[in-house]
Structure 1
Amino acid sequence: MMIRNAVKQDAAGIAKVHVDCWRTTYKGLMPDSLLDNLSYEQRQEQWENGIGTPQQILFVAEDENQEIVGFACGSKRESAKEPHAGDLMAIYVLEEHQGKGFGKELTAQIFNRLHELGCQTVYVEVLAENKSKFFYESLGAKLYQEEQMSIMGEDLDVLIYQWKSYDHLLL
């Protein structure tokens, strides 16, 4: 297992993981038509434009064949309301590689960087029906708030989890 900072050349691998994970993770939670219309090319373009931006923290996980099998991204909140907070914005690991520690390692890298940026609290949003909420809970996240959000034109119930302390996750 290798966790490293993402570079522009990783955009295609990240896009593949992103689309494939959406199709497995959100099957039954989002309309099939939405999932079927996801495009590797479109996601690759989005990632090419986002990788390397100063406000984004992005790590990839590679397997023993140096194939990207997961990624995680986060950022420090630039809000005056909560100046010492950050977000775990996304974490995806291909289904066949889940349960091998990739998710925990990716999360730890994001948290290390957020800690370096002075973040004292970290948030993550997850669909209420998404079983990944149990992953966040196992890492010590506590339910902070519930709300409804429009994601790609669909109104969905979202849970917002919070870590007020995350020293146990730092490397």
Structure 2
Amino acid sequence: MLIREATVTDAEGIAIVHVDSWRTTYNDIMPSDFLDNLSYGQRNELWKKNISSDGNYVYVAENSDGKIVGFISGGKREKNKVEDSGDLTAIYILENSQRMGIGKKLIKELFFKFEELGLKTIFVEVLEDNESRYFYEAFGAELLKTEKIKMARTELNLLVYEWKDISPVLYE
């Protein structure tokens, strides 16, 4: 498994992982018509922009065939006003590539970048019904707050987790 920084040419592969992962991860959380209408093309354009944006860091996991099977992104959300902090904004891994240690490798790669940038506190937002929240908890993230949001005509609980110290993630 190769973990590397993403380039704009990876946008298509990232878009496929993003859409396919949403369809499996949120299958019982969001309306099926919403998930069915997700577009590889729209996500491709979104990821070209995200990869090219200053202050946004995107890494991919490539299998031995050179296929992107996961990705992570982070930076600092506009609404984040906490000094020396950043945000893990997305991490998705294709369902058939999960539980193989890819998430751990991706999070370490992004957190090493955060450490290099001097970011001390890291936040991540996750839907309460998304089981990946247990992944964050396993890596030491602590629940900071819960808020109600509306997405795809559905009211959901958004959990905000925080790492006050990322060194245990990096050096365990």
SS in 1 for 2:54: coil
- Taking a change above 3 Å as real, the CA distance of residues 5 and 32 of structure 1, as seen in their structure-2 partners, is same
Contact map agreement 2:71 2:91 (CA 8 A) in 1: yes
The aligned length equals: 171
Separation in 2 of the partners of 1:119 and 1:72?
17
Moved more, 150-159 or 29-38: 150-159
Separation in 2 of the partners of 1:104 and 1:80?
24
Q: 1:69-99: per-residue Cα shift (whole Å, max 9, x none)?
A: 0000000356684111110000000010001
Separation in 2 of the partners of 1:43 and 1:27?
18
Amino acid at match of 1:97: S
1:143 alignment counterpart: 143
Contact map agreement 1:76 1:119 (CA 8 A) in 2: no
TM-score (norm 1): 0.95
Map 1:104-115; keep pairs closer than 5 Å. 104-115=104-115
* CA drift at 1:144: 0.7
2:157 alignment counterpart: 157
1:85 alignment counterpart: 85
1:44 alignment counterpart: 44
SS in 2 for 1:51: helix
Separation in 1 of the partners of 2:101 and 2:158?
25
Moved more, 112-121 or 71-80: 71-80
Contact map agreement 2:31 2:152 (CA 8 A) in 1: no
Amino acid at match of 2:16: K
Map 1:3-42; keep pairs closer than 5 Å. 3-42=3-42
Moved more, 153-162 or 81-90: 153-162
TM-score (norm 2): 0.94
Instruction: Give ranges in structure 2 of 5+ residues lacking alignment.
Output: none
Runs of 4+ in 1 over 6 A off after TM superposition: none
* CA drift at 1:4: 0.3
Contact map agreement 2:87 2:122 (CA 8 A) in 1: yes
SS in 1 for 2:19: helix
Separation in 1 of the partners of 2:21 and 2:8?
20
1:63 alignment counterpart: 63
Instruction: Give ranges in structure 1 of 5+ residues lacking alignment.
Output: none
Separation in 2 of the partners of 1:55 and 1:155?
31
Contact map agreement 2:73 2:90 (CA 8 A) in 1: yes
* CA drift at 1:155: 2.7
- Taking a change above 3 Å as real, the CA distance of residues 79 and 156 of structure 1, as seen in their structure-2 partners, is closer
Separation in 1 of the partners of 2:170 and 2:108?
6
Amino acid at match of 2:37: N
- Taking a change above 3 Å as real, the CA distance of residues 81 and 13 of structure 1, as seen in their structure-2 partners, is closer
SS in 2 for 1:42: helix
1:117 alignment counterpart: 117
1:54 alignment counterpart: 54
SS in 1 for 2:52: coil
